[in-house]
């Protein structure tokens, strides 16, 4: 299983390599902010859920 990492250092030393493992939500936030296709897909899914919810209430 591949884990995503990001640099997360409050202090900067030359030659120091510091990584912190990304959580699932961090990965999704990066996908949403970087990928237009992912944004469109997410909007469509949310709209479908909202419309489906409205039909259930009627």
What's the pLDDT tens digit per position in 2-57?
Answer: 455 555 555 554 444 555 666 777 777 777 777 888 888 889 999 999 998 888 88
Higher pLDDT, 1 or 37: 37
Q: What is the 3-state secondary structure (H, E, C) of the chain?
A: CCCCEEECCCCCCCCCCCEEECCHHHHHHHHHHHCHHHHHHHHHHHHHHHHHHHHHHC
Cβ contacts of residue 31 below 8 Å, gap of 6+? 38
pLDDT the model gives residue 5: 53
pLDDT the model gives residue 46: 94
State both tokens at 48: 């479908």
């Amino acid at each position: 299983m591949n884990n995503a990492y990001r640099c997360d250092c409050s202090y900067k030393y030359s030659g120091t390599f510091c990584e912190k493992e990304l959580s699932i939500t961090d990965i999704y936030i990066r996908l949403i902010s970087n990928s237009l296709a992912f944004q469109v897909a997410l909007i469509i899914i949310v709209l479908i859920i909202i419309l489906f919810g409205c039909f259930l209430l009627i």
